[in-house]
Amino acid sequence: MVSLGLEDKVIVVTGGNRGLGAAMVSLLTELGAKVAYTDISIDEKDNKALGIKADVTDITSMEEAAKTIKEKLGPVYGVVANAGITRDNFFTKLTSQDWDAVINVNLKGVVNTIKPFLEGMYEQNAGSIVCISSISGDRGNAGQVNYSATKAAVIGMVKSLAREGARYNVRANAIAPGFINTEMTQAIPEKVRDKITAEIPFRRFGEPQDIAWATAYLLSPVASSYVSGEVLRVNGAHHT
């Protein structure tokens, strides 16, 4: 039987309570991983994963979560920096608070997510980091200058982390999802959604499962062991 080699690997997903993160948590659990997820709110769920309340903008809270995860599940192999927010508006209308909120979650939050785990991964001489970027960071999007800037920054981060981590056999990659059906995109007005759909060659939004499988691939020490510093676009051919 062929396997992705994720059985019993400890994997942490931020923002795992709903949306793309929740889809990752359930797929990775099905693939046999020991999954922990963090979020600012944790709902009661019938899953085998360990849910921990932690805010990615707060390094102390992430360090405490990391301590609990290591104590309960063991050394961490995979980290998925998924938590993200939007504060959309045109550049002329974006406030300083809109910039700060998005930078704190989407950029500083990714740093705070990786920091408590990276040395442990180096010591294990094995690990995979997956950061969820966006089509917006890859090709830009009107009305999302702040969000695009943070999502592009994450791409730079994984490219450098991949170089630093190579000697420790720790890989780092990003996924740039196109438009995927979650609460984040349900917030887009219907008229705008229809316009976007018409521009996507597949003529539909993707599903959370599409991103969950891409994540499983990039975490897999079997399927992607020589892939590092890459950006995997999952966007229904919506490249340019």
Task: Point out the residues that are catalytic.
Answer: 147
Q: Which two tokens stand for residue 30?
A: 């099905």
By CB under 6 A, what part of segment 179-238 binds ligand NDP? 179-180, 182-185
CB of 71 vs ligand NDP, minimal distance in Å: 20
Nearer Cβ to ligand NDP, position 126 or 200?
Answer: 200
Nearer Cβ to ligand NDP, position 6 or 25?
Answer: 25
- Three-state secondary structure readout of the chain: CCCCCCCCCEEEEECCCCHHHHHHHHHHHHCCCEEEEEECCCCCCCCCCEEEECCCCCHHHHHHHHHHHHHHHCCCCEEEECCCCCCCECHHHCCHHHHHHHHHHHHHHHHHHHHHHHHHHHHHCCEEEEEECCHHHHHCCCCEHHHHHHHHHHHHHHHHHHHHHHHHCEEEEEEEECCECCHHHHCCCHHHHHHHHHHCCCCCCECHHHHHHHHHHHHCCCCCCCCCCCEEEECCCCCC
By CB under 6 A, what part of segment 161-180 binds ligand NDP? 177, 179-180
Nearer Cβ to ligand NDP, position 163 or 239?
Answer: 239
Among 10, 21, 78, 238, binds ligand NDP (CB under 6 A): 21
Instruction: With contacts defined by CB under 6 A, name the span among 16-24, 120-128, 156-164, 222-230 that binds ligand NDP.
Output: 16-24
Instruction: With contacts defined by CB under 6 A, name the span among 116-124, 130-138, 155-163, 165-173 that binds ligand NDP.
Output: 130-138
Tell me if 88 contacts ligand NDP by CB under 6 A.
no
115 vs 148: CA distance, rounded Å: 23
Q: Which two tokens stand for residue 233?
A: 């676009």
By CB under 6 A, what part of segment 97-116 binds ligand NDP? 105, 109
Q: Which two tokens stand for residue 43?
A: 């709902």
Among 9, 65, 82, 102, binds ligand NDP (CB under 6 A): 82
By CB under 6 A, what part of segment 26-65 binds ligand NDP? 38-41, 55-57
CB of 127 vs ligand NDP, minimal distance in Å: 20
Tell me if 85 contacts ligand NDP by CB under 6 A.
yes
CB of 208 vs ligand NDP, minimal distance in Å: 7
For CA atoms 182, 31, 157, 58, give the dihedral sign: positive
Residues that bind ligand NDP (CB under 6 A): 14-15, 17-21, 38-41, 55-57, 82-85, 105, 109, 132, 134-135, 177, 179-180, 182-185
